[in-house]
A and B are shown apart, each in its own frame.
Chain A
Amino acid sequence: MEPVWNGMLTCDYERTRPHATPFEWDLYTRSLIRWPLVLMNDPEPYGRLRRAGIVDIPEPVHHALTGRWHAHLRNPDYVADLITRTAVDRQAVALALDACDTADQDNDLPGLTAALAEATTAFLRVNATHIVNWLLPEDRWEQLLADLLGSRDSALTCLSALQLPTELGHILATATAEADILARRAPAAARREAWTTAALVAAAGNDHALIEVRALAMVLGWAADSEERRKELRERLLATARAWCEATSTDPHRITTKDLLGEDRHGPHHDNQPSGRY
């Protein structure tokens, strides 16, 4: 996110992902604009597209939407629902990509095209969660935990400990000796457990703080998990898109999301469904 300029925030994936294809930029910008819809059923778009790779967000829109989302993130029921829904979204992408693999193995180009359209549509929902990289209320959480735990150091240690994926991160998951990896990861899980307990005990007696701590602990674990799984799905989708380009003699550096969704052939796909569609 660039600094505010003339009342506008700019999200520039051309800069942050300089080696990405226009298709990948398109995935990011489309999913960024619709994160309020995907994550909180809010139809207000998060800014407007300048071009594939760049989104401009009026500052008041940014503050209004993040403010509403941050309020939701204090509610453990919302967070539990968010975790469930985004897991279902990821599952939908995985299933569509499985269908792509099957169609590819069967040399079924129409089947591959259709499945890839499904996978792309579904991935746009999953990719909306990439905003956890910079739109979480980390300053608020840091202050809350510093007040509860008594120091900024403890707050930062706690926040860091809680940002642990529930499953193996994808780099560690590539290790062959899985038992050894799990053993190495056990201390991190124990640290997360200890700091979750510490934060809850620190909030004891203050029901508002207690609820917020419960919610933030869930959000931080979800965010780490969500990012790990999203990246795996993104790599699978991009690889499948390259395979589709090869099968259709299309230049992978020129395709856009629109091409894969088949909007030109079949009319536009509608991905304006609110959360909970699946």
Chain B
Amino acid sequence: MARTTTISLQDVTDRARHGGKAAALAALIRHGLPAPDGLVLPADLTDAQVAAAIDDVLTWAASTNTVHGLVARSSAPAEDGAKASFAGLYASRFAPARSDALLNAVRDVRAAATAPAIRAYAALRNITTPPGIAVLIQRTIRPYASGVLAAEIDHGIIRRWTLEAVHGLAIPVVSGTQRGERHHSDSETPSPAAQSEIILPGTPTELHQPPGEWIILPGIDNRPGQRAKIRTSGAGLLHLYPPDTDRHRPVLTAALRDQLVETAAIVAAVLQHTSIDIEWAVTPDGAIHILQARPLTSPIPEQPTLTHSAGTVWTGLPAAPGRGTGPAHRLAAGASPAIGPAPDQAVILSDNLGADALDALLHNPAGIAATRGGPLSHAAIVAREIGVPCATALPDDLLTIPAGTPITVDGIAGTAEIAAPRDKSPRQQKLRVAGAAVITRPLSKDASCDGRVGTLLLHLPGDRLTRTLEETTTAPIGVLQPSEQPDLSPLPPGYREHHLPGIGRIAWPAQEVAIPRRLVVLHGDEPIFERRIAPFDPAINT
């Protein structure tokens, strides 16, 4: 295929044919800025021309280092424009430098351009999107860290900026699935990242390694990085568990951060923007790479005064029922000597709970929020034993919230949430005991003055009917068998058996005219479940 179907990225000038992303990056390359070179498949190519051009791309790729594969990226005419960014709407695909894989990746990127979300976004912004999309193909960078940076520039000077950084590729930040380390021009202190997964392009050998094997992460300043375990891999990417030792280590040094901000200012000047939004990557040699550059289409947000604000929700696993709200009280599991008591009605935050947390647990905590374990973990079992709402397996960054922050633990939803000033209470339909028969297994003698019409002892089919029904209570006592078979005979004297269609059988005092029409189950004095008995003809039930 003639080489004219593709164009080298640095030669791109036609935004309509090669897209906004490629046009911006090409301008940067021509000004000597560090954007990775690539090839562009123009927007007006047919599917057949694209298929034929793949060999051309691979020939170009052979001249560069593609050990970590190639990336096919959208470059639409309206993308990265001053009026609209189309951020996150178009697609990028990673692929090894093989014709079948690369062609599939390019086809995916081109197909994503017809997604309804893009049409809807364009209509909202009153933008016409021409058919077709250019595809930019670059070698994949394996970064130490990457992220996004937004800056506002006034006469060549950066006034305000914000930056978010993660280890590995920026996919988790760009997609919004994880929170990166956040830097802001208004603060010297960044807020830490909450990164649960590092995504890196893999070599063919690495991509054949199964989950559980180790990968050396890219370090910085050419130092080897930490080891990380493979969680899974696919589509050219490794998904890795961040090493524990990396969780609390800053992603960026102040020097690297400043270098990124200065680079953003230069990029803005080259592209003649007064505000700039760049996607960047830093490789182990400390080099900065600009992966995308566009004007900001919305103002830089204010620096939040807290890492988390009211309404922030962490989702884990439900472990002990109930909702409890109180000030956060952090416990470090395994601390020695004993951790000491939490204030009454505090919410205990912990990674997991051990025996040394017992003092705190016995000081009436309002809830327990743990970042480890499942429903059978220590924290969960203890919480259920002492009747405290508990959620487990919550994200680690829960432990970074300041002590005293009001937290609500929902042990049914399995969440922890920074409480609003007025905590919401669940609306439940109130169940009533009055007029109902209470189903119980052990008989409570002192509970018959709560308006119930009687008490029914639950009797499971196959068990022997051994309980006496001659207890001293003011309300009648009977037996409920939650199955229609077998019958309840022999009955105690003075009792009659009734068949309750769809429920089972009851033995009820013969002198009682009325058969219960409503059954309730109590937890303490509180009805937790109600079941109504459909009307039936007693004549056929005796």
Contact = CB atoms under 8 A, between A and B. Distances in A.
A187 interface: yes
Interface of A: 2-3, 5-6, 8, 10, 12, 14-15, 18, 50, 54, 56, 132-134, 138, 149, 153-154, 156-157, 159-161, 163-165, 168-172, 174-175, 184-185, 187-188, 190-191, 193-198, 200-205, 207, 210, 214, 223-224, 227-228, 231
B482 A160 contact: no
Nearest to B485: A207
A12 B211 CA distance: 8
Interface SS, A side: helix
B376 A185 contact: no
B521 A5 contact: no
A18 B458 CA distance: 48
A100 B522 CA distance: 48
Contact of A185 (B374, B380, B386): B386
B26 interface: no
Interface in B203-234: 210-212, 229, 231-234
10 contacts: A3-B211, A5-B233, A10-B210, A156-B412, A160-B321, A171-B361, A171-B382, A190-B523, A205-B484, A227-B381
Nearest to A150: B529
Interface residues of B, number: 61
Contacts of A191: 321, 387, 523
B439 A160 contact: no
Contacts, number: 167
Nearest to A204: B482
Contact of B460 (A2, A159, A190, A200): A200
Nearest to B456: A201
Interface string B504-522: 1000000000000001011
Contact of B385 (A12, A169, A197): A169
A197 B354 contact: no
Interface of B: 210-212, 229, 231-234, 241, 244, 318-321, 353-355, 357-358, 361-362, 374-376, 378, 380-382, 384-387, 411-413, 426, 439-442, 458, 460-461, 480, 482-485, 500-504, 519, 521-524, 528-529, 531
Contacts of A205: 482-484, 500-504
Contact of A210 (B386, B482, B523): B482
Nearest to B364: A184
Contact of B321 (A54, A157, A174): A157
Contacts of A5: 210-211, 232-234
Given A200-B458, A200-B460, A210-B483, A132 B376 contact: yes
Task: Rank and list the top 4 A-B pairs by shortest CB-CB distance, nearest first.
Answer: A204-B482, A194-B523, A198-B529, A2-B211
Given A171-B355, A185-B385, 8 more contacts: A10-B212, A15-B241, A160-B412, A163-B380, A171-B353, A187-B387, A201-B519, A204-B482
A20 to B, nearest CB: 14
B528 A201 contact: no
Given A2-B211, A171-B355, A163 B384 contact: yes
Given A164-B384, A201-B439, A207 B211 contact: no
